[in-house]
Structure 1
Amino acid sequence: MEPEPQPGDLIEIFRVGYQHWAVYVGDGYVVHFANISGSSGINLGQACSGKVKKRKLRHVVQNSRWQINNKLDTTHKPRPAQQIVKEALSYVGKKMIYSVHLRNCEHFATELRYGKAMSLQVIKVASAAGAAVAGAVIAGPAVAAAAAITALLVVKNSASMSTSSSS
């Protein structure tokens, strides 16, 4: 059983193919940023509609596994919990641009906790795409093209799964 989250904690929710992120604000509630447009936002430069919501943690999690994940605390100083919660609550109900690559739920949550938007999911995908480019230099264009297509399919599938659960 997961320990009780504290205000300001980041909550990582394990969905099929990706992780959804939220900020715990107390009394069983989280604030999270969700894509509400029905579009995956996978194309670079494509803007989707997103909305910040406050909901009970158990409603956002549904049947998914979740954990408190403040692991970036080792490399980034967290802001005071009261400041994180106050700012998170100030966003509730606001519509903002959502982008899988540039402004997703993980970017939103980490910016609240650390003052800096980061998404390790995006960094991992970018690293995979970088490996495909490196393959062009080492193995030739045909192998690199296959690796690039595979990387794009992983990104596309991950993004399309993120829109199927509009938490």
Structure 2
Amino acid sequence: MMIALPRQAPTMDYEEQVRDVVSNAQFGDLIEFAYPIGYSHWGVYDEDGHVIHFAVADEGQLKSRLRGYIQAVFPLCGDLLLGETQIRRQLVEDVNVPEGSHVMITNNRHARKPSPETNMRERRDALLDQELPYKLFSLNCEHFATFVRFGEAVCNQIPGRTKNLECKEATEVFQRIVTPDES
């Protein structure tokens, strides 16, 4: 007697996933780049195949060489060790991810209602090209992406931390850039 196993849907390769995201995403959608080691890089979809995300800050030749050495030893997290980021607009297909990553639209992991599009665009415009330190627990790419979408910075992938809890420190950093004091 043969047992029929359920048929699994074929998995898409990374390039197919990118095409799927670009063809289905709408402005303000959260884009998740899921790394094979269990954590993700996050950005916000910005139309025309682009994502806004924490990226490597501009750097000189010496720092670039140092980054290359660090990434050779720590290929999945070398950028984090230098601790500097710049919020950039980049094609989804050009975001640097490790082999085996997956990319997808992920709007349902933060128990928040999205802000009106005009608010998201205001936050995006104010934060684009800003250079910020990278702080794993208090100012990271997921904090940035959720702040743009919801107006509150949230990170649900830090082990041992309460899920869907606003990181007030990150929200305040971003909010000061979006609405600086007029004093």
> Normalised by the size of structure 2, how large is the TM-score?
0.57
Cα distance in 2 for residues equivalent to 1:35 and 1:61: 10
Partner of 2:106: 69
Kindly state the Cα deviation for residue 34 of structure 1 after the two structures are TM-superposed: 2.9
RCO higher in 1 or 2 (8 Å CA, sep ≥ 6)?
1
Partner of 1:117: 153
Kindly state the Cα deviation for residue 88 of structure 1 after the two structures are TM-superposed: 1.4
Cα distance in 1 for residues equivalent to 2:105 and 2:112: 16
Partner of 1:21: 42
Q: In the superposition, relative to structure 1, how do residues 89 and 29 fare at CA in structure 2: closer, same or farther (>3 Å)?
A: farther
Give the SS at the match of 2:160.
Answer: helix
Once superposed, which parts of structure 1, at least 4 consecutive aligned residues long, lie more than 4 Å away? 35-42
Write the letter of the residue equivalent to 1:53.
Answer: R
Partner of 1:126: 160
- The answer as to 2:90 corresponding to 1:55 is yes
Aligned residues: 121
Partner of 1:108: 144
> Normalised by the size of structure 1, how large is the TM-score?
0.62
Report sequence identity in percent.
Answer: 30
**Larger strand proportion, structure 1 or 2?**
1
Kindly state the Cα deviation for residue 54 of structure 1 after the two structures are TM-superposed: 0.6
Contact 1:40 1:100 in 2 (8 A): no
Kindly state the Cα deviation for residue 16 of structure 1 after the two structures are TM-superposed: 3.2
Write the letter of the residue equivalent to 2:33.
Answer: I
